[in-house]
Chains A and B, each alone.
Chain A
Amino acid sequence: MPRTLFQKIWDAHVVHRRDDGLCLLYVDRHYFHEGSFHAFNMLRARGLKVRRPDLSFGFGDHYAPTRARSTAAIADPEIRGIIETFERNAREAGIRAFEMADPRQGIVHVAGPELGLTLPGMTVVCGDSHTSSHGALGALAFGIGASEVAHVFATQTIWQSLPRQIRVTFDGTLPEGSTAKDMALALIAEIGTGGAQGGAIEFAGTAVRALSVEGRLTLCNMAIEAGARTGMVAPDATTLAWLAGRPFAKPVDIAHLRSDEDAGFDQEVRLDAGRIAPMATWGTSPEEAVPLSGRVPRPEQAPDEARRKAWQRSLDYMGLAGGEALADVKLDRVFLGSCTNSRLEDLRAAATVLKGRRIAVPMLVSPGSTSVKRQAEAEGLDRIFTEAGASWEESACSLCVSMNGDSVAEGERCASTSNRNFVGRQGRGARTHLVSPASAAASAVAGRLVAAEG
């Protein structure tokens, strides 16, 4: 029977199958961050130990300060306490954790793949919704909650029911200036934040094949914003070349890691990559996105009454009337970072735009990992950013989730390369516009929402 890539990896990891179809899957790789304290508390309450400390890796990212690398330098006692707890829990369980002063530290979805800890054909979980990112390497990867984290620690397995199989095909060639981020935003604008709910997306098509692994990580990262449990890309020569020489990488046979020719998908979505322009969100849901060359929609253009009300609520929160050109929307600041867009390729794209120019509004740059930061500095990207007037800081989740002390002030408008423009995501009352790294850089120079030229 022909199977999808997802089904093949799934089948290879079934430990136990119940009569109702629910499967106990073996977990090859488990990542965790500072939010894991609930799970460790659950283990303690039950007197349970971590079954396979060798298969879990911790990364300090959510609470790591953007402007310091030492726990002692953190002023907020709650944040300091969370980081200390994370480090102590990992140590006591005998698990390797890359704390903020470690050169291998980084945002879990940037640093994990970069270290070669995520490989094709693996099952990967983490108590973070953007775990879908790791599917870019041909892994079956999804985010889980704290109870599931405790379950994985205790048993190295997880209960799952087979999700609906979805294939999203990007035909054609992406125009110059458009990126994987724009592909993701165009897809979500098309199918909605619930469009892939309960499903697993396999990204396919010539435009996906043409993406670097960095681009594929961005695309799979945003699969969750379309409602999917995961996104994945079948591994190929690009994948293997990218993995070669990474510290934890091992040789993998990828010949069978692809969907069979006649494998059945429950849902097929096709987009013409040639028509995807640089995008930006205007509202408070990732589906509220339009090309940067366009205008903010008016509520009366909404397809139905429920949507009209939602759009009005979004516009009110965003301080927009509807109908204005995005290029006329003035910004207060720009954020370049997050597990979506903080890899070397992203920093290079932004630096290319900024070279020899000055920014008009404050811009914070937080590289995805300490290693990305070092590589960027070796290339001189840090000087381009600082000479343009941007703040070149340390690796952390930072303004994507605003848990480490960084935040956008109430009423301020921020162009951000992160993944969620939710109400309050970057701080209470903060207004977020999601864009690609090149668009973020161009917008920082213009002080308005614009795409990079040429």
Chain B
Amino acid sequence: MPEPFTLVTAIAAPLEMSNVDTDQILPARFLRRPRDERYPTYGFHDLRFTPEGAPREEFVLNRPPYDRAGILVAQRNFGVGSSREAAVYALLAMGLRCVIAESFGDIFFSNALKNGLVPVRLPEAACAALRMAVTETPGAEITVDLEAQRVDGPGALAYGFTIPAFSRDCLLRGLDEIGLTMTLLPEIAAFEAARG
């Protein structure tokens, strides 16, 4: 069951890459692993670590204060490719609660919503302005208010966003869809009966 998400204020990290696919977010060789205490090291693994296992300083999430980021501001097409929901688990395990991007891979977007990682779509210029702001002031915080569907960044940066109503309701209450759908079981049974 996901943690409820109402409002998060956190350090935001800029990710200056487009088309970040889920293979980069979580390389396939970690998919067989359980969600245990090792999970926080898997997210963006090959971008974060050299083949010898040393942290790459050039990767933004390795650098203080961005290593404490709770929000990631990316570019277009974040989370494209493989349907692996574990990519979302890996981001959550790193302490991220929200990704802001111009666009998302469809399945990633849906997986994020179901696990309490809020995917916020903002226009290109808004994403660029937020990335610039948190680059110029490392450690600057962004507030994502799901109830008001509003992002407040450093300075006067403020943007509205929308999340599908059903998912937003589930996120705010920390509910998952299975429980809600179970209340519709009579309709499902009727549908099955009608088709024979």
B85 at the interface (CB under 8 A from A): yes
Across the interface, do B77 and A194 meet the contact criterion of CB distance under 8 Å?
yes
In the bound complex, residues from chain A placing their C-beta under 8 Å from that of B105 are: 197, 227
Known: A20-B166, A145-B85. A15 touches B46 (CB 8 A): no
Known: A15-B187, A16-B187, A422-B21. A227 touches B77 (CB 8 A): yes
Known: A79-B32, A198-B106, A422-B23. A26 touches B182 (CB 8 A): no
User: CB-CB contacts of B90-105 with A at 8 A, as 1s and 0s?
Assistant: 0000000000000101
- A interface with B by C-beta (< 8 Å): 15-16, 18, 20, 22, 24, 26, 35, 38, 42, 46, 48, 51, 63, 78-79, 81-82, 127-129, 143-148, 150-151, 154-157, 159, 161, 193-194, 197-198, 224, 227, 229, 285, 306, 310, 313, 401-403, 410, 420, 422-425, 428-429
A-B contact pairs, 10 of them (CB 8 A): A16-B187, A79-B32, A146-B111, A147-B111, A157-B184, A157-B188, A159-B166, A194-B80, A310-B17, A424-B27
Q: Determine the distance from Cα of A144 to Cα of B85 in the docked complex, in whole angstroms.
A: 9
B181 at the interface (CB under 8 A from A): yes
10 more CB-based (< 8 A) A-B contacts, given A78-B32, A193-B19: A20-B165, A24-B184, A35-B31, A51-B188, A129-B81, A151-B178, A157-B181, A159-B166, A310-B18, A424-B24
Known: A422-B21, A429-B51. A63 touches B188 (CB 8 A): no
In the bound complex, residues from chain B placing their C-beta under 8 Å from that of A35 are: 31, 84
B155 at the interface (CB under 8 A from A): no
Q: Determine the distance from Cα of A144 to Cα of B83 in the docked complex, in whole angstroms.
A: 6
Q: Determine the distance from Cα of A22 to Cα of B21 in the docked complex, in whole angstroms.
A: 27
Known: A20-B165, A20-B166, A128-B83. A145 touches B107 (CB 8 A): yes
Across the interface, do A403 and B29 meet the contact criterion of CB distance under 8 Å?
yes
Top 3 A-B pairs, shortest CB-CB distance: A145-B111, A145-B85, A146-B85
Q: Determine the distance from Cα of A63 to Cα of B33 in the docked complex, in whole angstroms.
A: 13
In the bound complex, residues from chain B placing their C-beta under 8 Å from that of A285 are: 19
In the bound complex, residues from chain B placing their C-beta under 8 Å from that of A26 are: 188, 191-192
Across the interface, do B24 and A403 meet the contact criterion of CB distance under 8 Å?
no
Q: Determine the distance from Cα of A129 to Cα of B114 in the docked complex, in whole angstroms.
A: 17
Separation in Å of the B19 CB from the closest CB of chain A?
5
Q: Determine the distance from Cα of A128 to Cα of B191 in the docked complex, in whole angstroms.
A: 26
B158 at the interface (CB under 8 A from A): no
Across the interface, do A420 and B23 meet the contact criterion of CB distance under 8 Å?
yes
Give the residue name and chain of the B residue nearest to A26 (CB).
Answer: B191
In the bound complex, residues from chain B placing their C-beta under 8 Å from that of A423 are: 21, 23-24, 46
